[in-house]
Amino acid sequence: MTSPELATNLARFAEMEGRHPRLLLATASSAEEPHHKHVATLFADGGFDVDIAPKNSDAQSIARQAVDCDADILVLIRLSLTAEDRVGVADVISSLAALDAEYIKFGIVGKTDDPARDNVDFVFDLEHLGTDDCEALVGYILEIEEDRVAQHI
């Protein structure tokens, strides 16, 4: 169920872009894969078109997929915070930069105390992820899009 504000913001975004906001969902390691369905469903119910990166994708292939699927947002599910993570935050950021895709907003769904929180655009707590987070993310991406349109970029 979407709130009136969320529905209005989704309609405004769709009017400007001709589509709903698009999100690519990836995982940092295989430990996060069980959370794919929950997170993807929540964002899809919140009005996002959700694409899911294949299992065992590395940072470069995730960044490439984000560009290829015209994602507005790249979300990395990251809970373990260990060196064994298949996908590191810095690697994703540098991979997006190598593709000149810094316009894709990048965030984490996991723990709010993630040490990489200062290097990403947003962090949501997986344990408390809800509709309010979808509303906030749609509002955030809408503001960016409105600024871009106002600047004629």
pLDDT tens, 78-97? 887 766 677 889 999 999 99
Residue 1 pLDDT > 60? no
CATH class of 22-148: alpha beta
pLDDT tens, 46-68? 999 999 999 889 999 999 999 99
Domain map (residue ranges) of the chain: 22-148
Tokens standing for 97? 């930069």
What pLDDT, on a 0 to 100 scale, did the predictor assign at position 153? Answer: 58
Half-sphere exposure of 93 (CA within 13 A, CB side): 11
